[in-house]
Chain A
């Protein structure tokens, strides 16, 4: 059974800092890995998706990396802003036909001015 762990559980930083959020998974046989953002009381918005054959993806100030051999992904946020405050979740989709995404518990981020 795939287990997904996100560290840290919560993070509070001043505006402008560069951040690293971590996601680890136990089964390296993955289809893809996706990072989501969730604002309080809202649904999940996809930020970045990394296919199993890829090492990283970038979108604006966000960069996500994937190391299947070590079972890790990192989400790098450059020059953080108060608008980045949200919960960030990673989801690992299984290979082998089911493609079922397993989620971590998320990292709650607060960026203060």
Chain B
């Protein structure tokens, strides 16, 4: 059981380049989230999705885009990368229902923009 899988694990971008961070889950979860984590700052929500075809902005969406064409996949697109986007990115998924459903995380993508 793979859970939540993120690729790549590491990436270095030049300013102005674009890339897509991949996230896929095999638990048939409808809810998926993208967070970024900066040192000492906890996790900040970038975008989230409550099901295929439905996405919404989180706390820090500027400079990012997402899509959700399938239940399994929730890619995060960075357009025109900037140094401020240097961070560790985490994808997570859950399936709320009765209150006891856990949030599952991928292992993260460490991104540096130089």
- On A, residues with C-beta under 8 Å from B are 4, 9, 31-32, 34, 36, 41-46, 49, 51-53, 89, 91, 93, 98-106
Contact = CB atoms under 8 A, between A and B. Distances in A.
- The A interface, classified by DSSP as helix, strand, loop or mixed, is strand
Given A41-B110, A49-B102, A103-B44, 10 more contacts: A9-B40, A32-B101, A44-B105, A51-B100, A93-B96, A100-B33, A100-B58, A103-B35, A103-B42, A105-B41
A104 B42 contact: yes
Contacts of B41: 105
Given A43-B108, A89-B43, A101 B103 contact: yes
B interface bracket (residues with beta carbon within 8 Å of A): 20 to 34
A5 B104 CA distance: 22
Contacts of A34: 102-103
Contacts of A4: 42
Contacts of A49: 100, 102
Nearest to B45: A100
B104 A46 contact: yes
Shortest 10 CB-CB contacts between residues of A and residues of B: A51-B99, A105-B42, A103-B43, A99-B96, A43-B107, A44-B105, A103-B42, A43-B105, A46-B102, A43-B108
Contacts of A53: 99
